[in-house]
Structure 1
Amino acid sequence: MQLLRCVTLCIASQSFQIEWKTQRRIVDTLACFDMAGAKTFHETGVYIDIQGLAAGPNRSIVLRGDIDALPIQEGREDLPYKSQVAGVMHACGHDMHASVALGTALAFHRLRENFSGRVRVVFQPAEEAEPLGGRSVAEGLLHGFDAAVGLHVHTDIPAGSFGARAGAVTKSSDQFEVKFIGNMAHGAKPDAGVDAIAIAGAFINEVQKVVSREMPVDDGAIVTIGTIQDGEATNIICPSVTMTGTIRTSSPESRTRLVQRVRQIADGVATMHRGRPDFASLSGEPPVVNDARMVDRFRQLVVQTLGESKYVQRPASSGSDDFGFYSESLPSLYFWFGSQEPGNEAGVHTPAFGASDDIRIPTTELAIRYCWELLHS
């Protein structure tokens, strides 16, 4: 697991260097609106509680906006919010998520005389890589709350439209590392060695058969081999190969089963080829699972305020989000807001990604209205 740890720590380190300034900007902006009491967590995270002063059911709601960027060089020059930091950009829309969260916090602060209960707005770092910020939130910041709300830009939904669906809307994401250990020999005498590359090739083929032949079709399980390293020379039987990858599923049962089967395949293939495996896995995000009643309420709100055509039903994502830690702990809604329009068609995690500022205010208004309804239910 040493390689995995090095990669995740490197990404986390890059994010932290930028997010200190983001954290400071958020805290200073809150203070400008006389919002004291912001607290920090997970190094660069911020959260603030807005306590309602009216009589009522006294419910407590959490809203999350993630704030981290990605180590990608922005490829567009036409954006007024183009990244000012070389090699880093908001390629997943988290700057917009943070803006919506900030607007929600400011609105409830102004409305505090008119609602009962508490709204906690979380500006969460490290959604994209370990050590995951959502894990730390679930371990300490959700106690005593009734529901959680998350949101994410969606590049396949038209700008101005919104979507949500009940059940699993993302997949879990676990990382694994396997080192196949063979025995070095001259390339002219392969029988004198144990070829780790041959073991690795067999593993790649066999592990995909587990997905296609053993996992439920509707789970949409995915095993990805992301890196392969090692080898000495063109004429040497390779003594070891290290591979890393991810395992994605839609249910806890499939998640446990597939991680176990990938380990078993590694053991079996290595033994069959006279080698040895060294396998380790790192548990990542669980699936984000939406509460059906919260989704229905969200759909009704969109239809009532914006019209039937503005609510879009989309398939579940094969990606992951550490909001899954929230939905494991509380009834949750994770909704999508669309960004697709001429000039903004590129997908997330690409240098060409962009989203119009015009979608921020409608999304913020919808988030405020929805949280307001949850407080008064």
Structure 2
Amino acid sequence: MRKPEILAPAGSLEKLKVAIDFGADAVYLGGSRLNLRAFADNFTNEQIKEGVEYAHERGRKVYVTMNVFPHNADLEGLEKYLTELQSLNVDALIVSDPSIIVTAKEIIPDMELHLSTQANNVNWKSAKFWHSMGVKRIVLARELTLNEIKKIRAELPEDCDLEAFVHGSMCMAYSGRCLLSNYMTGRDSNRGACSQACRYKYNLVEEKRPGEYFPIVEDEHGTYIMNSKDLCMIKHIPEVVESGIYSLKIEGRMKSAYYVAAVVKSYRHALDKYWEDPEHYEFNEDWMNNLLKVSHRDYSTGFYFGENNRQIYDTSSYIRDYDIVGVVREFDNETMTATVEQRNRVFENDYVEVLRPEGNSFGFKMMDMHDHNDNKIDVANRAQMIFKIKSDVVLKSNDMLIKARKENN
């Protein structure tokens, strides 16, 4: 049995590097075409090349998503794009449509293919079929229980890997196959342009009472119709690993670098601790605390344990208790001075916490703040401005500085 992989989202080159630095074994990203995040900061070929080099130098992998449902026009230039991706040395393509699979097998037959969750694979016979078509890995539908996954794993050849989401946003539609956005806004979620119409706030209007809006509410018998809780399996790493899932996938290509760092760190530490000694594994609440600080909706375990009404809830609002305020670029051990790149407004004497790949978070008060010209300042309020602070603790390059929002102080 191989040690499972932690697979992280890379919505930009910066986030790719953060994911790798914080412990991801592999990242997935969108290139210039045919991926389901049309509004993400998708990668150019030059950025993919740099990202692949960064990952490969550290023994990690890069997968490129090509998981739209393509219309005829989307297939134009497909062969050229596939050839370009192979020349960039990406490790695998995440695909969902037979047209792309067949073309990839013709044009770049040695490229590893992973079947996207968009293909809605929920049984072992379908998985076997896709494997027979040259697919190396099945990204399972989110709607499966762990017991179903065990059955699928038992029926598949050993060289067919299983991947499943363990953390992040859930979709109100079956594994993402939604028409709501297209119908309401003309933006096709199945071609990467989802408007997240399921997150809108809705009211009922009775036809003979125009202008009278009745809120949709939940009672002990009812349910909210579309908003999904976020998935979080951090407390169930043993069950996930024992089900036969090889790749533990984190959702969030549209999320922040802070989100990527904190979530990857928690799952990395939890998986390592379990793998080190399964018989004496104990859950560490620090892992959950990291996940509660990043922007998220209420958490649930999705469909994994067969529980009812765990996907849906009453608000689309995010819980966002902490913000990243800066990233340490340099630290002078002699003067205990840190050079910081600003990410959100932060004041002198604010208390911040330090997030880094190893160890628990710790905090300090930001003292003696100066701008890059050494002028005294009391606030860093310009986007990505460089400033300096004194610290009474030793910091490292790429440490993330996070701060609780005022309403939580």
Normalised by the size of structure 1, how large is the TM-score? 0.25
Larger helix share, 1 or 2: 1
